[in-house]
Structure 1
């Protein structure tokens, strides 16, 4: 149909040329009418009335001069489709703007001798720039930013001698930067960032003496350092060569760029000293050399940079003191020097200019006091000085700093009291003062001031010397999510207004002197997951209202003076995985419901009047008290011991006989085998495997044995715990297992058979054996270095395909519920297979297993919505898979390596600022070698997919089908035979590619700089 339409249009054009009444404008109108037909219907083009071609000059986006169409501007009109090559028939077109739409396909331009301005940025054009550039001699502006062009940089551009603006950024151009680009003498703007370029930055670019802006970094990977020839660009205003793995020194020749206002060289591998010649850049406004390996001191020559507003030198190896001149820079707004080895004191006059907005000097070795004028102009928003050796009081002026939003002063030696009003500042969202020597009281709320109510969300005052009562005005912090007051000297009762903290998630009042009852109002804190009131002087009963906090995960009431019994209703909290009631005055019978059956005796120690099976203490069931023990004579003890020894011997003999009976195949009853494939072994062979010498794993779901069959086949035998029952009701377990046995997929561990023994109530699953164990064992063990990037990427794709099959191709859908690296098994060739799918459902529905991880997921992999809904679905699996991707990318475990309460998702967000450009910061160091190296573009892409999967809102996560599509964008990593399993869809695979969201002025790391700490 499209060819027919094109033929008709061309026929009309030919006919028009033969008519005396035909005009070039009519020809232009017919071309535009054809263009409308090939584009998707859009209200924006309703004015293009092909029945009245003479009105073409009044059509939206069309301008005419001297009887010809000279401008076509369809930018940001939400049109889609492909642009036909016939557009080249608009011979007098001067301006062509198609930016910000959904146009795709290949675009070719030729013979448009008047064309001066082309902007097709923000679309989906692909292929290469196969344009006939010699036939576009007037072209001055070419902007193809943020498309999908995949080709070497076009060499034909060097023919465009009038070209002054060239933007090829945010695409997939590969290869080297042609040295011939140095011949574009009229060029004033050159953007090549956000591609897949390699090699050296050609020194010939130093010939572009008219150039004012140059962008080369982000996703590109250059070697050979920064060419000194760039120092010849005397008219340059902006130089951005960030995030492209540059090494070597900063050439001192850059000091010749006297017109330079912005110099960004951050996130590279630059070393050596900061050149003193940079002090010559007296026009400089923004200087960012952060995240490199620079050494030495901050050069005093920078004192002449009076226009400097941003100075970022963080994450280097600088030493020495912060020069006094920094405080005298009159326009300085952002100063970030964190994570260096700086010593000495903070300049006393820092902030006196009244313009400082962001100050981060954390993780250094600074001493002295905090300057008192940091908020002189009430502009200070972010103040981060944690992990230093600062002493003295918090400046009183900060108590009236209405602009403050984030303050982190923890892990210093600060003393004195908290300034009045400081905690109640209206814009304050985060305050960290932990691990200091701050004394005084938690003051009542004074006049709220002009800013209105507080917005504080996180408050950490732990490990200080604060005393006195907790004020009732704590209720003013209605948006508080984290309140940490542990290890202080607070006293008095816990105010009833604590129940007004409806959003608090973590509440820690431990190691203080609080007394009186636990207020029942604490049950109103419905979002609470962590509650620690231990090591206080609390008394009275445990309020049953705590059971109303349905998502409570951690509860510690130990080492108080609590009395009476533990409310049975608390045992009904399904989310409670850790509880401690030890060393109180509790009495009565322990609850035997809910999670209490999993807690050990240490959770209740130090309560002599408590009784129950967990304490191995019998109860007087009529009174609920502990049954008194009788005194036992020494002779009776001896007789009892001898009897116990005889019983032990008899028990051991019985166990041996029992084991032999298993090996004979009777097991006290008849074993039954249900095979799901043709097997070369029988049930006796399976039972023979189940002996201690063959154990290869233990977990909450059961014990796993490895067995070798008579024909040489290797199998894995999982003996399940907690399934079935004497009643004969299996809750549909066998039907579910039969469903799993029928699953066929190359990336799913094959279930070969199911064995059961009704007499002993034993169920066994027989799987194919995976020789290389689990991904978690390999990745985090000694063999982790053997997993190069290509293998890791392939494992990611294979595991994603397995989950995709469970979610999208099984009827009914199978939700795994416990996706983790230990449940991704590797065969002899390190191909990935998803294991233990469906077991979590069985554990929940089929029996009382101790495998808590399978019920709710494993710690570190659990999606955040589980805390609110207590349910898991397929998007919960997607979150867990995102954690596995971060494991593959970083080589780190999900928890335990990032500090208390921080998991790999939180750490990755903080370290990268959620920016793709910073993904290489978290890359596994074992992937830096030549053999196992990860191409930066691919590593960034995996990070991007992982962060999509771990979105807080489950609705915003992709489906596993979309995950497979995104991961399949690098064909060389696809496992053999798997390329045709899915057909990529443009909705995700094309719109969410690396580079697609790259902004010309990459500022995401500046928006959240303190998250990097």
Structure 2
């Protein structure tokens, strides 16, 4: 018994030591908890301050050898501060504070045993250059992903000799990638993506031969290309250098990376052919080379990529046929994206027979032949997009039973035959577009009652085909449909009353058919309807009163039917109605002189001889005849009125002269804010404001031309409609923001002058006036050659791209038109006139305006209908400008009543690029047909009615920059801004480019 006493003593000493050590950790964690935000007490409810022995069972705590070894507080929604008491936990080997809201600096000194440190998904700020990394010699994992750290990458990282995992992604690190990172030879994982890094990618990274994953793209903008030394990273499994401005050719040395399963090089400026050496990467699962400038054909060596599941080559300049091995030799292929290239030939016959195909997008190529019949042989296909090709034949009947389909876009081809039974009633189908084909036959009823409830169709477009017969009653089961287009067909019979069951429909177009009978009053039940077009049918009867109950309707076209009776008086109370058309019917009665109806253009009621009203030039009491005495009295009245008008004009002219003198004398009361270095004064500016110097008038103000004493020329805009305190309500702040804009293709704002009565904007002078004058004036239009027009288009797009993507907050112009694109002495384009510009905060979310602003013919449909504006509204307007460049025509006025340049271009060309010569400006000579078709294609994209389907201005710049213009000696430089792909046009739901919601490349 006594011999065991020493062991007992040792054991008691150990317990005492264990207790004291555990006690110190206990106190440290309690102090740590005190710094946290107490608004979420449940997260750390079991951190019991009265029981130190329970510490190892607390939430997020693990112990090893009597010490707290791991602290993981991931996703507990904690906030507040991280206390310096962490420095006493010197045995901690695992620390994770991910997913919280900490905002203070983290104290980590003395953690000499720490091996795992994860601070990801928080809002830590400051720089890492103040951290003492020498106190963390055993660190193996260092992860600060998705915080707000700002500094160059610290050289202290070099002291982490055992580091295997380094993730600095999703922060604001700046400067170049330091070459010393190539000395961290133990690294297996490196992520620098989603920062503000620049310069070249150092070749020294090729020394990291243990590396398995590397992520360098997203928001970083590098120079040059991928170092060929990357070919030494033979253990690499995942390589992602997407979206970072790289150029040059893809190095053939990447073919050495035999273990690679993912290669992401998309959204760069790579050119040349696809290296055939990539066919050596037999383990490759994901290959994305999309949105570059690659040319040539798909290498035959890709037949070796048996494991490939994703192949994206879209938005390049590839040509040739789609190899048959894509269907026969790639048994695991699930996603194939080849859209917007120049592929020809037929779609491989066996495509889809591997029973794995889920997404197929071959749109915007030059493919011919028929659609393969086995694309959905195993009901795996979700997305099928083949639009804008030269496909013919019928739509395979098998697609009518492909229950996995979500999005189908087959428009703008030469397809014929009937719509397969069941296709429009598929249970998961969200989008179906079959427009602009030659489809015929009846629209089938749903023959499977089990499919009535799960219908999820959001948009159905069958327009401009040869479909006939009655509208099926079962379309009323599309309970989720929002956009319904059936115009330009041969449907007959009545509009079914069940159409009132479309409770979610926003836009309904059944125009240009042979429909007859009454307008069903049940349409009034469609409470979300903003656009209704029933024009050019054989409808009869009166306009149902129930239509007036749709309070948000902004577009109503019932023209060219056989409607009779009077207009419902409640139409006058539809405040949202801005674009009605009741013309060419048999309507009768008197139109009121007040209310909403009285403000519409008289053309909206033309062709109804029995309608009367004073503003129709058809007064209801027009039978009155004047007697001679009345005519004599009227003549005397006109003479007196003319004399009074002359006297008033003289008085007004005298007052104007006096005001002009006082205007100049009061220059001392003016305040001038300059945004550039100028050599003139307020007095010099006021001196040029004479009637003889007026060079433009608009709704926002009068523009004067002035030559300053120093010889420089300016344009002065006197803003109209602003009260004396207008610049005190945010206006001055907006002007100062505009004054900070520095872009070659935006007119420079030189100064802002104001007094208590007037505001003046001083711009640089553009000698060659506006693009509108150059195109539509009497002299210059014929001399603006094709190359000059294309050059102007690309320069204007770059100016708008800067406003949308590089300004903070982003700026929506709201009045993009050819008259607001000014040309300097070299005919270089400059976007001008920000009188209606809107600053959009909150990530660019659309905002609702109080009234429509802009110019007729350029206003986007959704802006006119809903008063909501975002950057896509500018994109539509710019598409109109592109059509002006292409056609030489004005946006409105040249095409007949109610038709604008967008509608006319679509009708004349049938939305087909090969018909572009039919709309081309006849004053142009020697126009490259491929460039004209390319410009037309971009214009059609920009003017899509659904704003989601329009490209961003970054994409517009990218697409316009695809052609060199040798005749002008002009070579467009690649956009310095990163192109952000808008795959809304295909199958994605949207983009999110904010740093705080940065997509984790590790999570695919």
Distance 2:871 2:576 in 1: 22
Q: 1:187, 1:211 within 8 Å by CA — same for their partners in 2?
A: yes
For the pair 1:217 / 2:217, whether they are aligned, the reply is: yes
In structure 2, relative to structure 1, the CA distance for the partners of 1:266 and 1:933 (3 Å cut) is closer
Q: 2:771, 2:820 within 8 Å by CA — same for their partners in 1?
A: no
Q: Can you give the 5+ residue segments of structure 1 that lack an aligned partner in the other structure? A: 1-18, 621-625, 721-735, 755-764, 804-817, 839-851, 871-875, 954-990, 1004-1013
For the pair 1:140 / 2:140, whether they are aligned, the reply is: yes
Which deviations, in whole Å up to 9, do the C-alpha atoms of 1:542-594 show, x marking residues without a partner? 22222122122112222222222322322332112112222222223234333
Aligned pairs for 1:480-519 (under 5 A) are 480-519=481-520
Distance 2:871 2:800 in 1: 18
Displacement, 1:24? Answer: 3.0
In structure 2, relative to structure 1, the CA distance for the partners of 1:891 and 1:837 (3 Å cut) is closer
Which deviations, in whole Å up to 9, do the C-alpha atoms of 1:10-49 show, x marking residues without a partner? xxxxxxxxx9998333333332232222232242334334
In structure 2, relative to structure 1, the CA distance for the partners of 1:799 and 1:768 (3 Å cut) is farther
In structure 2, relative to structure 1, the CA distance for the partners of 1:783 and 1:287 (3 Å cut) is closer
Structure 1 residues 426-435 or 647-656, which shifts more? Answer: 647-656
Aligned pairs for 1:624-635 (under 5 A) are 627=623
For the pair 1:747 / 2:737, whether they are aligned, the reply is: no
In structure 2, relative to structure 1, the CA distance for the partners of 1:834 and 1:51 (3 Å cut) is farther
**Which of 38, 58, 81 in structure 1 is aligned with 2:35?**
38
Displacement, 1:256? Answer: 1.4
Q: 2:188, 2:210 within 8 Å by CA — same for their partners in 1?
A: yes
Distance 1:783 1:417 in 2: 41
Q: 1:129, 1:149 within 8 Å by CA — same for their partners in 2?
A: no
Q: 2:852, 2:863 within 8 Å by CA — same for their partners in 1?
A: no
Which deviations, in whole Å up to 9, do the C-alpha atoms of 1:668-714 show, x marking residues without a partner? xxxx99x9999699xxxx9x999798584333x8x758799xxxx99
Q: 1:677, 1:752 within 8 Å by CA — same for their partners in 2?
A: no
Distance 2:288 2:577 in 1: 47
Displacement, 1:127? Answer: 1.7
Aligned pairs for 1:653-672 (under 5 A) are 655-665=645-655
Q: 1:417, 1:440 within 8 Å by CA — same for their partners in 2?
A: yes
Displacement, 1:78? Answer: 1.6
Q: 2:18, 2:66 within 8 Å by CA — same for their partners in 1?
A: no
In structure 2, relative to structure 1, the CA distance for the partners of 1:693 and 1:536 (3 Å cut) is farther
Distance 1:50 1:155 in 2: 41
Q: 1:747, 1:833 within 8 Å by CA — same for their partners in 2?
A: no
Distance 1:459 1:676 in 2: 64
Query: Which residue of structure 1 lines up, in the alignment, with residue 185 of structure 2?
Result: 185
Distance 1:650 1:921 in 2: 65
Query: Which residue of structure 2 lines up, in the alignment, with residue 309 of structure 1?
Result: 309
Query: Which residue of structure 2 lines up, in the alignment, with residue 9 of structure 1?
Result: none
Distance 1:184 1:398 in 2: 54
In structure 2, relative to structure 1, the CA distance for the partners of 1:524 and 1:61 (3 Å cut) is closer
Distance 1:831 1:676 in 2: 33
Aligned pairs for 1:362-511 (under 5 A) are 362-449=363-450, 452-511=453-512
Query: Which residue of structure 2 lines up, in the alignment, with residue 71 of structure 1?
Result: 70
For the pair 1:855 / 2:851, whether they are aligned, the reply is: yes
Aligned pairs for 1:596-635 (under 5 A) are 596-620=597-621, 627=623
In structure 2, relative to structure 1, the CA distance for the partners of 1:793 and 1:309 (3 Å cut) is closer
Distance 2:21 2:461 in 1: 74
Q: 1:747, 1:799 within 8 Å by CA — same for their partners in 2?
A: no
For the pair 1:90 / 2:86, whether they are aligned, the reply is: no
**SS at 1:414's partner residue?**
strand
Displacement, 1:393? Answer: 0.2
Distance 1:349 1:494 in 2: 42
In structure 2, relative to structure 1, the CA distance for the partners of 1:32 and 1:715 (3 Å cut) is same
Distance 2:962 2:872 in 1: 20
Aligned pairs for 1:523-672 (under 5 A) are 523-620=524-621, 627=623, 655-665=645-655
**SS at 1:105's partner residue?**
coil
Aligned pairs for 1:41-190 (under 5 A) are 41=38, 42-43=40-41, 44-125=43-124, 126-190=126-190
Structure 1 residues 203-212 or 435-444, which shifts more? Answer: 203-212
Q: 1:468, 1:490 within 8 Å by CA — same for their partners in 2?
A: yes
**SS at 2:108's partner residue?**
coil
Query: Which residue of structure 2 lines up, in the alignment, with residue 251 of structure 1?
Result: 251
Structure 1 residues 207-216 or 443-452, which shifts more? Answer: 443-452
Q: 1:392, 1:415 within 8 Å by CA — same for their partners in 2?
A: yes
**SS at 1:25's partner residue?**
helix
Q: Can you give the 5+ residue segments of structure 2 that lack an aligned partner in the other structure? A: 1-15, 672-685, 707-713, 736-751, 774-791, 823-829, 839-847, 885-890, 892-901, 903-935, 964-969
In structure 2, relative to structure 1, the CA distance for the partners of 1:836 and 1:449 (3 Å cut) is closer
Which deviations, in whole Å up to 9, do the C-alpha atoms of 1:282-337 show, x marking residues without a partner? 11111111111110001111111111111111000000000000012211111110
**SS at 1:555's partner residue?**
strand
For the pair 1:273 / 2:273, whether they are aligned, the reply is: yes
Structure 1 residues 227-236 or 269-278, which shifts more? Answer: 227-236
What is the aligned residue count? 848
Displacement, 1:656? Answer: 4.4
Q: 1:382, 1:407 within 8 Å by CA — same for their partners in 2?
A: yes
CA RMSD of aligned residues (A): 5.3
Aligned pairs for 1:279-298 (under 5 A) are 279-298=279-298
In structure 2, relative to structure 1, the CA distance for the partners of 1:677 and 1:28 (3 Å cut) is farther
**SS at 2:301's partner residue?**
helix
**SS at 2:103's partner residue?**
strand
Displacement, 1:463? Answer: 0.9
Which deviations, in whole Å up to 9, do the C-alpha atoms of 1:345-371 show, x marking residues without a partner? 000010112211111000000000000
Q: 2:941, 2:951 within 8 Å by CA — same for their partners in 1?
A: no
Distance 1:920 1:172 in 2: 26
